[in-house]
Structure 1
């Protein structure tokens, strides 16, 4: 008699799954959807269009390809940061905030926190709307 047989007898009968898919190791049950691992990988890969280096016009690269590059490795160097107008959710006062602010930004009128610093970009408070300054 195996050790596992002894343990299963002590625990009693285990409930049987009605679906054979849920017992398969390749499937993952999330709520009501059952997705295969390979299908999830294909979905993730399909978001990015694979382009060979030879197929790109080096003088006129696509904007989305340039945006993904490091700020110093772009065709024309440009920063990732920007200034934005943030509207307070309480008093609707507009405050100019730097996107990579390293301090907590507070509304001038009602002292509500507009954004919190993180390692990179500042995290806006929920309910605050913003627009990039041009």
Structure 2
């Protein structure tokens, strides 16, 4: 297992997963869409918007830069709302390593295409590989 992971999405689910995984990884990069929230997470270590009352362990580093969150990572956990998965993947695609493992913890169906999350990933990243869901 890699020593570090990037988590894309700092809502309540992404923040909760980051806190849980902090005991499993030595370094976690947590991408935050909102710059104000990123600044708050960096200074107070608390996601007051989406998960108040829980402090981020020190090995979680919030960032508002997708490039710095993604580049060089071999394990990425995608935790954004389904309606922004396509846009987010399009933005991170140039920075993804070829051997990167992408795990999606989002659920739902895209409104325009009726694609599930794994179908959106396959479409945007132009991949046709086995997909497992739980």
TM-score band w.r.t. shorter chain: under 0.3
Q: Would you tell me which structure has more helix in proportion to its own residues?
A: 2
TM-score (norm 1): 0.21
TM-score, length-normalised on structure 2?
0.21
- Higher relative contact order structure (alpha carbons within 8 Å, sequence separation ≥ 6): 2
Q: Which of 1 and 2 has greater Rg?
A: 1
